Amino acid sequence: MAEIHVIISSCDRNVGIATALRRKPVLVNFTSKLEQTMADEDEVKLFGMWASPYSRRVELALKLKGIPYEYVEEDLSSKSCLLLKYNPVHQKIPVLVHNGKPIAESLVILEYIDETWTNNPILPQDPYDRAMARFWAKFIDEKLLMTTRKASVASGKEKEQAIEEITEQLKLLESELQGKEYFSGPSIGYLDIVASVLVFWFGNLQEALGVDMFTKEKFPIIFGWIGKVAEIDAVEVCRIPKEKHLEYIRTRLEAFKSASK
């Protein structure tokens, strides 16, 4: 109502309201403002880092949904003022900024994307299936990835124990995938996007560490899934460049070893 009030008050006071609203300049002005509002609502930015599996999973969701966005690469050794502004609590990537409003944490961002852009839903519609998808997503982040990081920096018996834990965790994931085309069912969805770390990141880390814990022979079902996922165009676009990633991982591992001496 405030917008209409401004438009009418700018009209000739001797002209009736109905006549004033029919005038072409008024309609053009209203239309341009409406178009600008719609454009503003579509403003999406993603603050990420090329080697981060968490950042890549958000990119994958945006691409699968067909959502245009601006990508902002962050240097995590010198974080930008905007990143610190948009995520003052954790000061980490990824951060999705939609229409000026920031959302942090990749799993939270994925759900926000699905609830905001309802086309091509990635979360299951059934409440139980949604709960299970969230459960296994947390399992990947809080169990598998945390144990993998532990194995990356450990040595000796501690490293062997961590690798054994990873193997058991991967077996549990393979059991969850058994009999399905994708983790989410007949098509790629939320849990597949979270598990894309196995496509983008896991194998490169294993190679950089010089271990042999994640192979096609040990996990044929997961590797069959990886083959299907890799055929999806959006997944291929989001793939982390292997050689660049290996160099990055090895540099990080060497820096950690030097710092721990």
pLDDT tens digits, residue range 41-97? 689 999 999 999 999 999 999 999 999 999 999 999 999 999 999 999 999 999 999
Tell me how crowded residue 142 is: count the other CB atoms within 10 A of its CB. 10
- Supply the mean pLDDT for the chain: 87
Q: Supply the range of the domain harboring residue 152.
A: 127-259
Radius of gyration of the chain (CA): 24
Could you write out the DSSP letters of every residue in 3-53?
HHHHHHHTS-TTS-HHHHHHSHHHHHHHHHHHHHHHHHHT-EEEEE-TT-H
Tokens of 33: 């403002």
**What's this model's pTM, rounded to 2 decimal places?**
0.82
Distance of CA 141 to the CA centre of its chain: 13
pLDDT tens digits, residue range 145-154? 999 999 999 9
For residue 70, what is the enclosing H or E element? strand 70-73
Q: How many domains does the chain have?
A: 2
pLDDT tens digits, residue range 167-186? 999 999 999 999 999 999 99
**CATH code for the domain of 80:** 3.40.30.10
**CATH code for the domain of 243:** 1.20.1050.10
Per-residue model confidence (pLDDT) at position 261: 64
Q: Are 133 and 180 in contact (CB under 8 A)?
A: no
152 and 222: one domain?
A: yes
Residues 6+ apart with CB under 8 A from 200: 53, 56, 238, 239, 240
Per-residue model confidence (pLDDT) at position 250: 93
141 and 56: one domain?
A: no
